[in-house]
Amino acid sequence: MGRALESAEESVVIRGLVRFLDERSGTAPFVKKALRYVFPDHWSFLLGEVALYTFVILVGTGIYLTFFFEPSTASTYYAGHYAPLRGHEMSVAYRSAVDLSFKVRAGLLMRQTHHWAADVFVASIVLHMLRVFFTGAFRKPRDLTYYLGLTMLVFALLEGYLGYSLVDDLLSGMGLAIGYSVLMSVPFVGANLALLVWGAPFPGKAEFWSRMYVAHVFLLPILIATLLALHLFLVAARHHTQFRESRRTTEKKVVGIPTFPGYAPRSLGLFFSVAAVLFLLGGLVQINPIWLWGPYHIAQGTNGAQPDWYLGWLIGALRLVPNLDVTIGDYTLVPNAFWGGALFPLLVFMLLYLVPWLDRRATGEYGFRNLLDRPRDAPWRTALGAALFAWVFVIFLAGASDRVFVSFGISYVAQLWIYRVLVFVLPLAALIVTRRFCLALQESERLGQIRKQAEAEARGELPQTEQL
């Protein structure tokens, strides 16, 4: 009784809203459709939304930062309150970032929240992608959606790297120096590419800073936002996938909750949760204390400089590849940095882009796939995915080997050799174990069903024919 009344009231709200918009824009059919859009109901579908909302926070805090940050390499001297920097020569960019942290109202909160959001943004994209991969959600007709998502990940990595580099503190400078040498290492075209981007040999021309800035605050965010809009449009156009939950869910029919009144409040709740977590971190946990690092001057460095976590796998790869330069006479054709810094990520992303195609080839399924697999239902895909993940993960861990050495005293060289073995062994082990595990799960499920049926028959009930 109560529920019926409630939903009647709610539909009045919907009707009012739709009428308001329709009278002014003629979009009633679209709005109605959007409000009645059905969301499948499983928590893992929310991971992508976390990424979306993190992006919103990134843009919001980022806009605040642009009001105060000056992207200039012009030289200046610090004369503020912070004693260890007083009298230091530094770029205007760095000084404005320090002032932003110490003087601007809520500046440090915004800067830290922005940085935490960047870390969490990539983390949530990765989680979302794992969900999509292991349930087979990337299959036709959603392969295009998948490609868009993957491209956003590439842009997100680049965007994060630029943000880290713009500040011109000691870690920024070292990160850029590594980026420069990796780009230089690309055979044949590397040197020209690096000169094109930097404008001059490292540390480059002043224009390089405005290039980075334009890319960071304008080009890449707009690109990501555009891809995001397309991504969401495609999701809606082809509808969400769903698990095969009951007989009601089929390839043709979606079961779940409509946008309004069911889903919108949940989604809003999730947005507030994301904002709360990010701002709490931004206010309570220090991230990238640039005032401690000091300004960057060429050829200076600090021990243990690291990129943000999402580029850690590249540092790991740079460390694991044995010293291997390909030379012709005096000419170094392929410097060592190429293998770990350029070839490795290219390979990983190529594999990821090929996933839908490889899956089609392997399974021979060219039709529409609207129902998700549970990971165990596709043992080979799950096992291969686990292997790829294990491979990248080991290399990622190797990126922190120096810290592990300092903190836990495990010999650095020994670690590198262990990782060099694990890089080959662990993916293989993950492959075998995961496949076995999937098959065992399937088997135990089958046995359980048989037992249930037998028990039902023993009790004299009719055999259940519900097929999962």
Partner 1 sequence: MRRLLLLALALALPSAASAQPGLGVKAKTGQGLYAEHCLSCHGVDGSGVTSASHPRGVLDVRGLGPPLKDVGALAADFYLTTGYMPLEDPHEQPRHTKSPFDKREIAALVAYVASFGKGPPVPTPHPERGDVSVGLSLFTEHCAGCHQVVAEGGYVTNAVAPPLHEATPVQIAEAVRVGPYLMPRFEKSQISDAQLDSIIAYVQWAKHPDDRGGWSIGRIGPVPEGLVAWLIAAVALVGCCVVIGRRVRQ
Choice between 81 and 436, CB closer to partner 1? 81
Q: Which long-range contacts (CB under 8 A, 24 or more apart) does 126-134 make?
A: 126/153, 127/47, 127/50, 128/47, 128/48, 128/50, 128/51, 129/153, 130/385, 130/389, 131/44, 131/45, 131/47, 131/48, 133/355, 133/381, 133/385, 134/375, 134/381, 134/382, 134/385
Write down the least CB distance from residue 190 to partner 1, Å: 26
Cα(206)–Cα(200) distance, rounded to whole angstroms? 9
Amino acid letter, 171: L
Please tell me the distance from the alpha carbon of residue 100 to that of residue 65, in angstroms, as a whole number.
8
Amino acid at 41: D
User: In whole angstroms, how close is the CB of 235 to partner 1 at the nearest point?
Assistant: 16
Question: Any residues with CB less than 8 A from the CB of 235 and at least 6 apart, and which?
Answer: 142, 145
Contact flag: residue 127 with partner 1 (CB under 8 A): yes
**Does residue 100 touch partner 1 according to CB under 8 A?**
no
Closest contact distance (angstroms) between CB of 264 and partner 1 is 12
From CA 288, how far away is CA 119, in angstroms rounded?
A: 12
With CB under 8 A as the contact rule, the residue among 274, 314, 355, 378 that binds partner 1 is 274
Residue from 15, 33, 361, 403 in contact with partner 1 (CB under 8 A): 403
Q: Least CB distance from residue 123 to partner 1, whole Å?
A: 5
Instruction: Kindly provide the b/e burial profile for residues 318-341, where b requires at least 16 CB atoms within 10 angstroms of the residue's own CB.
Output: bbbbeeeeeeeeeeeebbbbbbbb
Binder among 259, 306, 363, 442 for partner 1 (CB under 8 A): 306
Please tell me whether the peptide bond between 261 and the residue prior to it is cis, using omega within 30 degrees of 0. Answer: yes
Q: Shortest approach of partner 1 to residue 432 CB, angstroms?
A: 27
Binding of residue 134 to partner 1 (CB under 8 A)? no
406 near partner 1 (CB under 8 A)? yes
Q: Which residue in 65, 110, 120, 355 binds partner 1 (CB under 8 A)? A: 120
The answer to the question of residue 96 lying near partner 1 (CB under 8 A) is: no
The SS3 call for residue 295 is strand
Q: Which parts of 423-452 interact with partner 1 (CB under 8 A)?
A: none
User: Closest separation between CB of residue 97 and partner 1, Å?
Assistant: 13
- Site map (CB under 8 A) of partner 1, residues 55-94, x = contact: ---------------------------xxxxxxx------
Work out whether the CA dihedral 273, 276, 280, 282 comes out positive or negative.
positive
One of 402, 426, 433, 441 touching partner 1 (CB under 8 A)? 402
What's the CA gap between 363 and 273, in Å, rounded?
Answer: 40
Pairing verdict, β 331-334 and 326-328: antiparallel
Binding of partner 1 by 264 (CB under 8 A): no
Residue 405 is a binding residue for partner 1 (CB under 8 A): yes
Kindly report each contact of residues 363-367 with a partner whose C-beta sits within 8 Å and lies 24 or more positions away, as own/partner: 365/139, 366/140, 367/140
Q: Is 185 in the site for partner 1 (CB under 8 A)?
A: no
Report residue 256: phi and psi, to 5°.
Answer: 170, -155
Tell whether residue 304 is a contact of partner 1 (CB under 8 A): yes
Q: Contact region for partner 1 (CB under 8 A) — 120-128, 182-190, 430-438, 459-467?
A: 120-128
At position 198, the amino acid (one-letter code) is W
Q: Which of 136, 163, 221, 307 binds partner 1 (CB under 8 A)?
A: 307
User: For residues 132 and 399, what is the distance between their CA atoms, to the nearest angstrom?
Assistant: 27
Q: Is 88 helix (H, G, I), strand (E, B) or coil?
A: coil
Residues 203-262 that bind partner 1 (CB under 8 A): 257, 262
Rounded to the nearest whole angstrom, what is the least distance from the CB of residue 271 to partner 1 in the complex?
10
Q: Please choose, out of 133-141, 307-315, 324-332, 426-434, the segment that lies near partner 1 by the rule CB under 8 A.
A: 307-315
Q: Minimum distance from CB of 57 to partner 1 (Å)?
A: 12
Closer to partner 1 at the Cβ: 101 or 145?
Answer: 101
Which of 4, 5, 237, 285 touches partner 1 by CB under 8 A? 285
Query: Would you count residue 413 as binding partner 1 (CB under 8 A)?
Result: yes
Give the SS3 label for residue 109: helix
Q: Which is nearer to partner 1, 281 or 438 (CB)?
A: 281
Task: Please give the residues from 22 up to 61 whose contact with partner 1 meets the rule CB under 8 A.
Answer: 41-47, 50
Quote the least distance from Cβ 229 to partner 1, whole Å. Answer: 23
**Residue nearer to partner 1 on the CB measure, 147 or 161:** 161
Instruction: Give the DSSP letter string of 305-368.
Output: ----GGGHHHHHHHHHS-S--EEETTEEEE-THHIIIIIHHHHHHHHHHHHHHHHHHHH---S-
Q: Based on the shown chain and the rule CB under 8 A, indicate whether residue 302 belongs to the binding site for partner 1.
A: yes
In 3D, which of 190, 189, 214 has the Cα closest to residue 202?
190
Contact residues toward partner 1 (CB under 8 A) are 41-47, 50, 82-88, 101-102, 108, 112, 116, 119-120, 123-124, 127, 170-171, 257, 262, 266, 269-270, 273-274, 277-278, 281, 283-289, 291-294, 300-309, 312, 400-403, 405-406, 409, 411-413
